[in-house]
Amino acid sequence: MKQSIRHFLSLLDLSPQEFKLLIKRAISLKNNRDPNYQPLKGKVLAMIFEKSSTRTRISFETGMAYFGGNALFLSPRDTQLGRGEPLEDSARVISSMVDCIMLRTHQHNTVTTFANFSSVPVINGLTELLHPCQLLADMQTYFELRGDITNKTVAWVGDGNNMCHSYINAAKLLKFNLNICCPKEFQPNSEIVQSAAQLITFFDNPTTAAKNADLVVTDVWASMGQEDEQKQREIAFADFQVTAEVMNQAKPDALFMHCLPAHRGEEVSAEVIDGPQSVVFQEAENRLHAQKALLELLLK
Ligand code: CP
Ligand code: NVA
Q: What is the pTM of this model?
A: 0.97
What ligand 2 atom has the least distance to the C-alpha of 159? 1
Contact status, residue 145 vs residue 121, Cβ threshold 8 Å? no
* Most informative mutation of 59, 260, 267, 286 for ligand 1 (most atoms within 8 A of CB): 260
The pLDDT, as a whole number, for residue 50 is 96
What separation in Å is there between the alpha carbon of 284 and the centre of ligand 1?
Answer: 8
Please list every protein residue whose CB sits less than 6 Å from any atom of ligand 1: 53-56, 126, 134, 259-260
Report the CATH number of the 2-131+287-299 domain: 3.40.50.1370
What ligand 2 atom has the least distance to the C-alpha of 260? 5
Q: How confident is the model at residue 300 (pLDDT cuts 50, 70, 90)?
A: confident
Please report how the helices 280-299 and 16-31 are oriented relative to each other, as an axis angle in degrees rounded to 10: 110
What separation in Å is there between the alpha carbon of 224 and the centre of ligand 2?
Answer: 6
**pLDDT per residue as tens digits for the range 33-64:** 999 999 999 999 999 999 999 999 999 999 99
Residue 196 neighbours by CB under 8 Å, 6+ apart: 168, 169, 171, 172, 178
Residues marked active site are found at 104, 131, 134, 219, 259, 287
Give the closest ligand to the alpha carbon of residue 230.
2
Pocket flag, ligand 2, residue 219 (CB < 6 Å): yes
Distance CA 291, CA 84 (A): 30
Mean pLDDT of 14-41: 98
Contact status, residue 128 vs residue 223, Cβ threshold 8 Å? yes
E strand or H helix that includes residue 194: helix 190-194
- pLDDT above 60 (res 267): yes
- pLDDT above 70 (res 1): no
Mean pLDDT of 223-235: 97
Q: How many other CB atoms sit within 10 Å of the CB of residue 30? A: 17
Nearest-CA residue for atom 6 of ligand 1: 53
Give the closest ligand to the alpha carbon of residue 163.
2
The pLDDT, as a whole number, for residue 3 is 55
Nearest-CA residue for atom 3 of ligand 2: 223
**pLDDT per residue as tens digits for the range 185-211:** 999 999 999 999 999 999 999 999 999
Contact status, residue 215 vs residue 139, Cβ threshold 8 Å? no
Mean pLDDT of 284-295: 98
Pocket flag, ligand 2, residue 59 (CB < 6 Å): no
* Equal fold, 2-131+287-299 vs 133-283: yes
Q: How confident is the model at residue 180 (pLDDT cuts 50, 70, 90)?
A: very high
Contact status, residue 183 vs residue 237, Cβ threshold 8 Å? yes
Q: CA nearest 145: which of 249, 254, 231?
A: 254
Residue 183 neighbours by CB under 8 Å, 6+ apart: 236, 237, 239, 240
Report the CATH number of the 133-283 domain: 3.40.50.1370
Q: CA nearest 29: which of 123, 126, 144, 159?
A: 144
The pLDDT, as a whole number, for residue 102 is 98
3-state secondary structure of 261: coil
User: What is the domain partition of the chain in residue ranges?
Assistant: 2-131+287-299, 133-283
Distance CA 132, CA 125 (A): 8
